[in-house]
Amino acid sequence: MFNYDWFYGAPYLQQCTHATDRCIAKRFPNVAADQWESDKKVCAFRKELTLRTLLYLRDGFSYEVKEFIDLTNKSHLVFECEPVEEQYKVGTFVVTLPFDEISRVEVFAVRSTEKPGEWPQITGFRHTSEQADANPKTSA
């Protein structure tokens, strides 16, 4: 199901857009979607949203994407992982995954000032209360 085109084409961007739009709709249920661009509160709220992308693998491991890395070989997904534990933050983890090992992708949209105190456990790195606040980026 997942392949290079899913992450670098429309599907991933659509999932990010849906997460953002649904977060806005939940916060502003009385503002019609066609009025969002002209509503100052909605525009300010949208600017404050951050996205968190989690990849779940068939073997039960999970990774948070800090930044996608677009390499010449398109047969695998390559990204910088957002480590949770302090001892792993001294360096950088670049992860390469075969696309067929990815079982689920979650995009979580939240206002940066309202992030929950406890994030879901990422099993690729053991859980601590440390929060990550980077949006996944795409590098060329």
Report pLDDT digits (tens) over 42-79: 999 999 999 999 999 999 889 999 999 999 989 999 99
Q: At 100, which amino acid appears?
A: D
What's the gap between Cα 88 and its chain centre?
19
User: Tell me, what's the pLDDT at 119?
Assistant: 52
User: Tell me, what's the pLDDT at 135?
Assistant: 52
What 3-state DSSP class applies to 6? helix
Query: Of all residues in the chain, what percent are helix, strand and coil, respectively (each to 5)?
Result: 35, 30, 35
pTM: 0.76
User: Tell me, what's the pLDDT at 113?
Assistant: 82
User: Tell me, what's the pLDDT at 128?
Assistant: 44
Which residues of the chain register pLDDT less than 50?
122-123, 125-134
User: Tell me, what's the pLDDT at 91?
Assistant: 83
Q: Domain tally for the chain?
A: 1
Domain residues for the domain of 109 are: 4-139
Distance CA 34, CA 14 (A): 18
Q: At 106, which amino acid appears?
A: E
